[in-house]
Amino acid sequence: MTATLYRGRLLSFRRAPQSLDDHDSYLYERDGALLVENGVIVASGAFDTVKAAAAEDVEIIDHRPHLILPGLIDTHVHFPQMQVIGSYAGGLLEWLNTYTFPEECRFVETAHAERIATHFFDEFFRNGTTTAVAYLSVHKASADALFAENLRRGSLMIAGKVMMDRNAPQGLLDTAETGYDETRQVIADWHGKGRNHVAITPRFAITSTPAQMEACQALAREFPDLHIQTHLSENHAEIDYTCSLYPDAIDYTDVYARYGLLGKKTLLGHAIHLSDREADAISEAGAVAVHCPTSNLFLGSGLFPMRRYQKREKPLRIAVATDIGGGTSYSMLKTLDEAYKIQQLLGERLNPLESFHLMTRGNAEALSLEERIGTLDAGTDADFIVLNASATPAMALKMEAVKSLAEELFLLQTLGDDRSVVETYVAGKAMKPAS
Ligand code: GUN
Ligand code: ZN
């Protein structure tokens, strides 16, 4: 494959910014370029330097004056919930029982799962998200549909068939044994095929018996490199119900800990109402608390205490995510806009450099994948996006008043959405669908 050179303003993070003045935390190249070959960034930096390293007749795609950033990463979404978004419910458990579980039953049908899979990738790529970590339905058909579609799309995707053997409709239940067997089958069929990764996915403690938790523990031992994803401490009624189902556990977090499910590759969706003991246990294990702001607001679940978690003696690793379809937007820009507002309500600040770090490198680090995605570094996968901060009349008007990169990012976060995403490149291929 021949190389292509993409010209624009490059922005990529080295580490988490400590303040708006922390200019060392990122790389910003006003007239920058990426040289891409065979799906990989082979050079990145000032246009003149990168151009000089390329072949004389290299094709140049000029995205000036737009920004070029790493593809956005969404660390918690539900594939079978695209038609659940915006369901009117009092809170998590009512929302699950009334809308979500019935909808997920439909994914036993291959044709339905395949149809939704095409929309899934279209919607994420339209919004500049190039990697998502997805919960599938309980049915193997949902895994086959999503992973097969991704072989055509080429993104780095992490997903797992949910394991659930109680407290849900019959059509959504596996057993400790079939959940184990089918997860193993999904791993054998899909893990490492293309850029597909399989995650071990006990949905949450309420829908898994102790026997199923043991099966998850066995999977985690057999496949220690795989991610594990589950939900934790999202809603007070959920916490009380969980503790009643696991009376021997010290608390909700301890349910997962006692089955060996807390580790560096564990992603804990929501994790809003943690006690100090729970936060210590999660920190010691190196597991990740995944903040899902639009979902937490929509379902009234609570305000994620990001700063408290970060500033504690034993800090938590934190990621951000849409949680489609408890979440209300596919856009990571909109997601961080709501994260900002949650911190405002808590009397804290979330600056735009931190937000853009979180949705790129921060989330990549949370997935232990920063060597492959989340930056524009040479040698990493060519997943990158082009953003236009003047994409709508309202944005263009506000842009007239913008004086710095940080202000431009804040504008993108506050007023931006899929319309600000000019292009989404996945492994070097332009993939944003026509709207
Ligand atoms: N807890 C268990 N399942 C779910 C889900 O599908 N969405 C959310 N937001 N929380 C959950
Ligand atoms: Zn979720």
227 Cβ below 6 A of ligand 1: no
Please give the pLDDT value at position 1: 67
- Testing ligand 1's pocket by substitution, the residue of 105, 203, 235, 328 carrying the most ligand atoms inside 8 A of its CB is 203
Gap from CA of 231 to ligand 1 centroid (Å)? 7
- pTM as predicted: 0.98
Helix (H) or strand (E) run with residue 388 in it: none
Low-confidence ranges of the chain (pLDDT < 50): none
Nearest in space to 386 (alpha carbons), one of 60, 62, 150: 62
Gap from CA of 76 to ligand 2 centroid (Å)? 6
CA 128 to each of CA 315, 386, 424: distance values in angstroms, whole numbers, following the listed order: 29, 8, 5
CA 284 to each of CA 76, 145, 269, 392: distance values in angstroms, whole numbers, following the listed order: 22, 37, 18, 45
**Residues 10, 47: Cα–Cα separation, whole Å:** 10
203 Cβ below 6 A of ligand 1: yes
231 Cβ below 6 A of ligand 1: yes
Ligand in nearest proximity to the CA of 138: 1
Q: Is 260 left (phi over 0), alpha (psi -120 to 50) or beta?
A: left
204 Cβ below 6 A of ligand 1: yes
Note the pLDDT tens digit of each residue in 106-143. Answer: 999 999 999 999 999 999 999 999 999 999 999 999 99
Please give the pLDDT value at position 435: 75
Please state the atom number of ligand 1 nearest to the C-alpha of residue 204: 2
CA nearest ligand 1 atom 11, residue:
231
Pairing type for strands 429-430 and 421-426 reads antiparallel
Contact 9, 28 (CB under 8 A): yes
295 Cβ below 6 A of ligand 1: yes
100 Cβ below 6 A of ligand 1: yes
CA nearest ligand 1 atom 3, residue:
203
Gap from CA of 100 to ligand 1 centroid (Å)? 9
Please state the atom number of ligand 1 nearest to the C-alpha of residue 238: 1
Nearest in space to 389 (alpha carbons), one of 372, 371, 406, 365: 406
Gap from CA of 383 to ligand 2 centroid (Å)? 25
Note the pLDDT tens digit of each residue in 49-108. Answer: 999 999 999 999 999 999 999 999 999 999 999 999 999 999 999 999 999 999 999 999
